[in-house]
Amino acid sequence: MWLVRTAAINDIGEKYYPRSEIAKWASVEMPKKFGEIVERDDWYVAVQGDEIVATGLLDVSGKSLGAIFVRPDQQRKGLATMMLSKLEDVARDKGIDRLTLESTLNAFEFYEKNGFSIVKRSKYRLQNGYELDCIVMEKRI
């Protein structure tokens, strides 16, 4: 799952973030307790053969979506849309009627196309202290 995340970040074009910012973002090390985090929250993966090709997180307590990541060689095949639909279905099943997220600049249009609205521009603070420009969004589901 972490490898899919890192590959997707490294594949982001400089149209959205300078290469130096992408490198800082991608270099965040996997948390030591990542396994516990995965077990605690609602994480989903899309698998092709025996490989994970996409991941997505629903933070039920925060009523928010974590990042959806798709392996670069599998992008533009509908996996992100499928993952978003799954996360929204799970949220509805858990009684959540509104989701929020902090979208990176490269993913903003995807979420907007899928019904999310802008709340505000913000900064997302990574574990290594680096701050990344993002857009807080929400959607009634």
Q: For the segment 58-115, what is each residue's pLDDT rounded down to a tens digit?
A: 999 999 998 899 999 999 999 999 999 999 999 999 999 999 999 999 999 999 999 9
More confident residue, 126 or 76: 76
Find out whether 54 and 41 touch, Cβ atoms under 8 Å: no
How far, CA to CA in Å, does 106 sit from each of 11, 22, 49, 85, 99? 11, 11, 28, 19, 19
Rounded CA-CA distance 18/43 in Å is: 29
- Fill in the amino acid letter for 21: E
What pLDDT is stored for residue 138 in this prediction? 98
DSSP label of 73: G
Quote the domain boundaries for residue 17: 2-140
The total domain count for the chain is: 1
What pLDDT is stored for residue 20 in this prediction? 92
Phi, psi torsion values for 135, nearest 5 degrees: -130, 120
Could you tell me where the DSSP H helices lie in 27-125? Answer: 34-40, 79-93, 108-113
Question: Comparing 12-21, 104-113, 120-129, which segment has the lowest mean pLDDT?
Answer: 120-129
Q: How many CB atoms lie under 10 A from the CB of residue 49?
A: 5
Closest-CA residue to 134 (of 64, 87, 62, 80): 64
* Segment holding 118, helix H or strand E: strand 117-125
Q: Is 99 helix (H, G, I), strand (E, B) or coil?
A: strand
User: What's 123's domain CATH number?
Assistant: 3.40.630.30
